A and B are shown apart, each in its own frame.
Chain A
Amino acid sequence: MIKINELSILMNLLSKKVNKYQIGSTKTQILSFLNLDPKKDNHYFQELIVQLSNYIKPLGLYIRYNPIDNHWYIGHDFITSNLLSANPFEDKPKLAATLFCVLVCCLTNTGNSKINEIKNLRNKKGIIKDLKDLEEMGYVEINEKLNEVKLTSLVGYQLDIQKLFTKLTLKLKKDKKDI
């Protein structure tokens, strides 16, 4: 059974805002704060995550994992997220499409992506402006010297990347079937 102090510590570690781009904590940080051995207490760590998850589920909260910076954090479920207008691109489809293009390019190139590649793939005007807007929103970092762009960890917190690509894969599968 999870102890009340462990619960407080975990809640704090998973819900604290580290900086503009980071929330929560890594597994190593969590283990250290709970005075647990990273070699022996791996199973216990999983158990704690599951138990805390059960505690906060009735509040519409879920424990999530950001694959970009390996941080565990807490997010609202998708219904609550929609109610809270989590979508930052509701009235900006052009920006959403450019971010999607950056996502695909970075996924293919394992991290960074050349701005020219994004321009070619996107094939629309004003891509640099879009990238600058995305940088201002905290989703990408532009390296002007190398003419490169990379995703920040913030995208991993606010966007379920896996779900997005699953949706795309299912859509492509369905489109192929329809043909």
Chain B
Amino acid sequence: MIENKDFSESISQKIKEIYDKVIRGELSLLDYELVPIFNELKDSLSTSNINNYSKTYIEACNLLDTKFEELKALLNSFDEEKQFKEYLESEPSDQEILYLFNNCWIKTFDLSILSYDFIEASKERLIHEKYTPIIIEHLKKEKSNDKFILELPKHKFTEKLLEFFESVKDKLPCSFYEIFDEDLDQIVLYQQFVYILHLLQLGKIQYQAETNTLYILGD
């Protein structure tokens, strides 16, 4: 975007110059591109210069109207196909006709490299594939009066582990199942099972798989 300066005067001057050339017959509006003028107006328009720009905009629109009039006149003259025949009857040179063809030739662009199978596959994807967008749902916030205080164990894990070891070492050697007291709460049972695993890792307790026996090395 052009900085919002007031270019209305210079654009108006440009429009006036174009008009003068058209009146003098030096320029046909059909050969002149008006889009840059409108772009210049659009890009530099701001609230501060809108008053001056409205006048310039009308001038630009008048220029466009004149261009339309020229186009209308040209289209009307197209009906007069006789003119073309008359031109040919005037026997213009081959070079003159060749010159008319200048800049009228189009190099076509064909991309045979894309196969029919490819287009068919694209079509199928376009028709059948319906992508369901991922919906992100926000969790509902619920108010609660409960206090969430993380309960910390009263003793450190190692202390509790050794405490457990002291309590069971007199039972050893014994079978794996005998080490656990009967009627134990499931949570306590699980805790003790974890202690056993750690004691086995530390080598304080040994395990003989064949007899399913726990024992202390050296006993």
Count A-side interface residues using an 8 Å CB cutoff. Answer: 59
The answer to whether A122 has its CB under 8 Å from any CB of chain B is: yes
Closest B residue, CB atoms, query A100? B97
What are 24 A-to-B residue pairs whose CB atoms are below 8 Å? A3-B126, A5-B126, A8-B118, A11-B111, A16-B110, A33-B119, A34-B123, A74-B109, A76-B106, A80-B107, A88-B105, A94-B94, A97-B97, A100-B97, A100-B101, A108-B84, A121-B89, A158-B105, A159-B101, A164-B104, A166-B30, A167-B100, A169-B83, A172-B87
Pairwise interchain contact A158-B74, C-beta atoms closer than 8 A:
no
The answer to whether A41 has its CB under 8 Å from any CB of chain B is: no
Pairwise interchain contact A17-B106, C-beta atoms closer than 8 A:
no
Pairwise interchain contact A167-B106, C-beta atoms closer than 8 A:
no
Chief secondary structure at chain A's binding surface: helix
Given A34-B126, A104-B84, A121-B85, do A75 and B108 touch, yes or no (CB 8 Å)?
yes
Residues of A within 8 A of B31 (CB): 170
Given A9-B126, A17-B112, A108-B84, do A164 and B100 touch, yes or no (CB 8 Å)?
yes
Pairwise interchain contact A11-B114, C-beta atoms closer than 8 A:
yes
Closest B residue, CB atoms, query A84? B107
The answer to whether B138 has its CB under 8 Å from any CB of chain A is: no
Counting chain B residues whose Cβ lies within 8 A of the other chain, the interface size class is: 35 or more
The answer to whether B68 has its CB under 8 Å from any CB of chain A is: no
> Which of A11, A12, A161, A171 gathers most chain B CB within 10 Å?
A12
User: Which chain B residues in 69-111 approach chain A with CB under 8 Å?
Assistant: 74, 77-78, 81, 83-85, 87-89, 91-92, 94-95, 97-98, 100-111
The answer to whether A134 has its CB under 8 Å from any CB of chain B is: no
User: Which chain A residues in 122-141 approach chain B with CB under 8 Å?
Assistant: 122-123
Pairwise interchain contact B105-A108, C-beta atoms closer than 8 A:
no
The answer to whether A52 has its CB under 8 Å from any CB of chain B is: no
Say which residue of B28, B92, B98, B111 sits within 8 Å of A89 (CB atoms): B98
